[in-house]
Structure 1
Amino acid sequence: MPLVNTGDLVSAAAAEGRGIAAFNVITLEHAEAIAAGAETAGAPAILQISENAVTFHGGTLSAIAAATAAVARASSAPLSLHLDHVVTGALLRAAADEGFSSVMYDASRLAHGRNIEATEDAVRWAHERGLWIEAELGKVGGKEGEAPLDAHAPGVRTDPEEAAAYVTATGVDALAVAVGSSHAMTQRTATLDHTLIAALREAVPVPLVLHGSSGVPDEEIRAAVAAGMVKINVGTALNTAFTGAVRAFLDADAKTVDPRKYLAPAREAMSATVAGFLGLL
């Protein structure tokens, strides 16, 4: 089916009091697995490509974007295309021409005032082109190249009053908040601050986004959605499933050289992971 607008998927989920999952695409197999998992679950999903993934593909967005969009259009599930954790203006400006309906513009590493200015400029540019835009306030942490961060350390988590002012000043359509999760977790041991989530939901007039959901246990995700979280980002869990399946295959058959032999079970493992998260939500 045609690509769906990310904003429509998130708005529908928010109106119905449920979550919508967004899964990170690195390879073609990731995109295929997400589409297959969504079809299995009978649920919509967001396919998102991060700036780190674009860098992995030689710094060129067009090829991985075109492949991901083609997979999404061939699927029977409602799927959208989202550009994730964009930090450079050039990549932001490429979004509108590559089939994306939404962008997460990440100025969270900047000083607060500069974050507001840069995000406001990004929002103005995006809205003029009909793009839905997400931003981040607080320190989720865990991204490659960042120093280790305690997700519950003082000053890390998002302040509700500050978040409300930030949304008003920037005009963003959704806000990623720091409530106890962290990027790149391979064990599901994160403990979220559900009281803070509820306070943020009360203070902030746009949907809330949970980054680093791969490290969050099922019951914590359910409680987060019940408290007001809407968009649930999942990346590392797919990579864990992918790598685990490849490692298991090659451990059992060290002579195989045809990558299709081990990429097929890797894709199936990711698809099952996607269906699991969608069923949870």
Structure 2
Amino acid sequence: MAALHGSTLEAIKTHQAQLLDEWISGLEASGATRNIKEQMLSQETREFLQLLIEGLQSDSGNNIAATGWDEARRFLEKLSASRAQLGHDSHQTVFFIFGLKGPLFGLLQAHYSNEPGRLAEQLWVMSELLDNMGMHTIRTYQRTREAVIKRQQEELLELSTPVVKLWDGVLALPLIGTLDSQRSQTVMESLLQRIVDTGSEIAIIDITGVPTVDTLVAQHLLKTVTAIRLMGADCIISGVRPQIAQTIVHLGLDLGTLTTKANLADALKLALSRLGVSLAERV
């Protein structure tokens, strides 16, 4: 197995300024520095090159899981997280590492110009090391992006299930889009919490914006209504369009326990009448 030669380390330490200049130029030319300030990029490249030198001096080899690479791993994990937050893709992120290959390999070629065997050996050692670091960076980036996407999905779910207070004791939840299992759970939790917070007696779930109602959607609605009733409140489903009514009949779904209305206005009138509120029509 090829090992790092002391002369390689000395060459890197001696030509740090040259490596940094060429590395930064390559990063800028590739577009990997988008939304990154020049001062920040300069700081990151200097810090990583120093950590690379320290790791090489620790004789930890190419195993970046070794103790000697602890600081370098932490740096790459922090870098991956920051790039994900900036909206960089995986290629832009990992090119921070791979962008060092060109300047470093050029330096080694000049340094070992008279030793082709040693040159090939050291190129392999450094290439394998940087590849391992790139893979670690990609794995960290993917975990961070997945966390960001999951958080954004949760935030969108919350925004897509707004619970509105229509009257004292009356809440409304307008649904838009498909009602799947995850969203149904969010709907139930949001609505139940608002019932507790406001002490409301009636909740209206408006499905005008739900494109289709199938067996699964109907089951979600029934579960939500059951949970609301267990909280001591009542529930009205509004927005039952003719197409949805026909679909429910064709599917043979039993929604007999649900109170339904064609639109939100009719549902509100029914809710107010149940609360003993009378509305006088304007003449």
Tell whether the structures are fold-level matches, with TM greater than 0.5. no
Give the structure-1-normalised TM-score.
0.27
Structure with greater helix percent: 2
> If you compute each CA radius of gyration, which structure gives the higher value, 1 or 2?
2
Structure with greater strand percent: 1
Give the structure-2-normalised TM-score.
0.27
